[in-house]
Structure formats: C-alpha cells, structure tokens
C-alpha cells in the first residue's frame, strides 16, 4: 500500500508548528504523579483506513489515558446496562464548566449533564459495575480497541489519583445520596480512577480512534468490534463535550470529534478516513494539551479534515 506523502509531510510540519507553543502550557499538578510529566515531550500518530501508520516524535512514550477513558467507560456502560439505563442517569448536554465541577449537581438537576465530565463518567462507571469483572472487562475492551494486549495500569498514577481524589469522591457521594449511583461511592470512584490510570501511547489511541472513524469495524480485518449505534453516540458526545469547556472553540477551529485527557493526550476521529492521536503533557488553562491541540489543528487545516471543510477558518 502506498504511503501518502502529503500526510507524512503535513505531520512533520504539524509537529514543528506545535513545538513553538509548548512553552505556553503547564503540566497538570493536581494529581501529584502527573506533575512528573515532561512538558516538551510531543508525539503524534495517524492511522488511515487503508492501514497505513504515520508516527512522529515521542509516539512510543506512554502516558495515562485520563479522561479519554470516559469514551471507553461510556461504551462499556452502554454495552452492559443499555441505552435507557445509562441515559436515565446522565444527560447529553455540554456544561461550559470545568471537567471536575460539582456545581451543576446542585443547581441544574441532580443528574450529571454528560458522560464526558467527571460526574458523568462516575455515573457511567457505576453502570459498568454490573459486569461480573468490571476491571478485567474494561481492560479487555481497551486492549481490543487499541490493538495492544500489553496495555496495563500505571499503579503510581492510580494511587496518586486515589489520594488526590476528594472532588471526585464528593461528586460520587452526592450522586449516591440522590440514588443515581447504585453501588457504593468508594467502589465506583475506585473503578473510575483505575480506568483513568491505564497507560497508553498515541499509536494505541489512534488505533482506537480508527475503529470509531470506521463506525465500529476494523478496516484492516473487517471485524466488527463495536455496534454502530454506540459509536454514533460516542462520537456525538466527543463533538459536543470532548474538549472540556473548549469544545465549542475546538469544533470551530479544528472540527474533528475528539477527546482530551489531563495526561496530555488527545484522540480524534475523522469519518471513514483516519484515527489520530497526539500527546504533550503541557496543558492550557482548560486542561487540553497545548501541543496535541496544535498538532490536530494543523493537520485539520492542511489536510482539510474539518467536518465542514470547505468553510473558511484560519489557524491563528
């Protein structure tokens, strides 16, 4: 299969472009173990539906999946508890608030507004607890979609999350009090922290994104890994809520369904074309990776990946 020279060159240029912004970001410190990340690490990977892999920079570097796991938690919740049960506990509207905000649980309604914020992911993790082996099943799902059987837990980050997880515990207890959670708050947050602490690289995430881009079917094998109705829900929520409270800006400037995590990863999926992922631990004030954001922005602009490409938008 032929390598696409335009993708190769654009990826190299995207990395150079993104590097010029890295100094503007800061590594997450609220989970002490994340503070050890190097802000100048930058990696990216694009996998096209014809199976070609384009990797650049620190593509082999592992980092914790963090909030990108929320897409997998939603998938597993829909698979184990079904549509009605999941969406009786969590809504689908963007919040405009920070990912770890508690405020809407009191003022808007008791249900978290969507599965891509912490409160919503804790509610979907609760649905996953109905599986016989939630940890094992979640790991198996992640390994299958990322196409790597050696994906494992970063134990140090997991312990650090547990120690620093007061806000998440508060949300879980509020939701247990309101009968949104069906299991004990401590058990649910434990699963939630564990899900966030799996160690991945950009190639893993690009593989996963490729399956989403191809509506659940691995284009390389023809195997159906996910049902298309689940993929549709996940990608829709990635568009509206995947980039924290910068989801609107990202939709306008980049126009790729994406999910971001405070470990520095961003995963993006381009309909029927490619899965992509980028990594850089320096974050902007909203929690999105500065370098990864810029890589995706550049690729979108110069490869015409915006879902409404043809419209005029500029890389600022």
Question: Binders of ligand GLU among 254-273, rule CB under 6 A?
Answer: 261-262
The answer to whether 66 contacts ligand GLU (rule: CB under 6 A) is yes
38 catalytically annotated: no
Concatenated DSSP letters for 115-134? TTSHHHHHHHHHHHTTSSSH
Q: How many residues does the chain have?
A: 316
The answer to whether 168 contacts ligand GLU (rule: CB under 6 A) is yes
The answer to whether 71 contacts ligand GLU (rule: CB under 6 A) is no
- The least distance separating ligand GLU from the CB of residue 44, rounded to whole angstroms, comes to 19
The answer to whether 289 contacts ligand GLU (rule: CB under 6 A) is no
Q: Which of 67, 160, 260, 289 is catalytic?
A: 67
The answer to whether 123 contacts ligand GLU (rule: CB under 6 A) is no
Among 99, 138, 158, 293, binds ligand GLU (CB under 6 A): 99
Structure tokens at 186: 């401590």
Q: How far apart are CA 51 and CA 211, in angstroms?
A: 11
Among 10, 48, 67, 73, binds ligand GLU (CB under 6 A): 67
Write out the H or E segment, with its range, that includes residue 104. helix 103-107
- The least distance separating ligand GLU from the CB of residue 296, rounded to whole angstroms, comes to 17
34: helix, strand or coil: helix
The answer to whether 100 contacts ligand GLU (rule: CB under 6 A) is yes
Among 58, 154, 161, 245, binds ligand GLU (CB under 6 A): 161
Structure tokens at 154: 């970063």
Concatenated DSSP letters for 209-233? HHHHHTTTB-TTT--B-S-HHHHHH
The answer to whether 25 contacts ligand GLU (rule: CB under 6 A) is no
262 catalytically annotated: yes
Question: How many helices, marked H, and strands, marked E, lie in the chain?
Answer: 13, 10
67 catalytically annotated: yes
The answer to whether 95 contacts ligand GLU (rule: CB under 6 A) is no
The answer to whether 196 contacts ligand GLU (rule: CB under 6 A) is yes
The answer to whether 80 contacts ligand GLU (rule: CB under 6 A) is no
Q: Which of 54, 244, 293, 298 is catalytic?
A: 244
- The least distance separating ligand GLU from the CB of residue 19, rounded to whole angstroms, comes to 23
Number of residues that bind ligand GLU (CB under 6 A): 11
- In the complex with ligand GLU, which residue's Cβ is closer, 118 or 280? 118
244 catalytically annotated: yes
Q: How far apart are CA 41 and CA 63, in angstroms?
A: 11
Structure tokens at 61: 């570097």
Concatenated DSSP letters for 230-284? HHHHHHHHHHHHTTGGGHHHHHHHT-S-EEE-TTSEEEEEETTTEEEEEE-SEE-
**Angle 228-241/202-213 helices, nearest 10 degrees?**
120
Give contact residues for ligand GLU (rule: CB under 6 A): 66-67, 99-100, 118, 161, 168, 196, 261-262, 287
Residue numbers annotated as active site: 67, 70, 192, 244, 262
């Amino acid at each position: 299969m032929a390598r696409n020279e335009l993708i190769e060159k654009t990826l190299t240029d995207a990395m150079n472009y993104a590097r010029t912004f890295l100094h503007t970001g800061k590594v997450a410190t609220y989970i002490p173990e994340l503070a050890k990340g190097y802000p100048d690490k930058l990696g990216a990977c694009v996998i096209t539906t014809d199976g070609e892999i384009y990797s650049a920079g620190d593509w082999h570097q592992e980092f914790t999946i963090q909030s990108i796991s929320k897409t997998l938690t939603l998938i597993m919740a829909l698979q184990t508890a079904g549509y009605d049960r999941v969406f009786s506990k969590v809504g689908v509207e963007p919040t405009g608030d920070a990912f770890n905000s508690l405020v809407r649980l009191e003022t808007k309604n008791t249900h978290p507004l969507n599965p891509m914020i912490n409160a919503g992911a804790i509610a979907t993790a609760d649905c996953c607890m109905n599986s016989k082996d939630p940890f094992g099943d979640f790991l198996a799902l992640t390994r299958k979609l990322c196409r790597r059987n050696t994906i494992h837990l970063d134990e140090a980050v997991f312990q650090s999350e547990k120690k620093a997880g007061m806000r998440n515990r508060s949300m879980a207890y509020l939701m247990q009090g309101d009968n949104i959670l069906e299991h004990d708050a401590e058990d649910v947050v434990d699963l939630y922290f564990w899900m966030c602490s799996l160690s991945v690289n950009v190639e893993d995430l690009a593989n996963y994104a490729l399956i989403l881009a191809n509506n659940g079917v691995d284009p390389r094998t023809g195997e159906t890994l996910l049902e298309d109705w689940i993929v549709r829900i996940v990608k829709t929520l990635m568009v509206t809520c995947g980039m924290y409270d910068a989801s609107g800006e990202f939709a306008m400037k980049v126009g790729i369904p994406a999910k971001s995590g405070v470990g520095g990863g961003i995963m993006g999926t381009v309909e029927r074309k490619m899965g992509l992922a980028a990594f850089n631990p320096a974050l902007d004030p909203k929690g999105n990776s500065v370098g990864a954001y810029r890589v995706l922005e550049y690729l979108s602009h110069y490869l015409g990946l915006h879902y409404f490409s043809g419209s005029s938008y500029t890389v600022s």
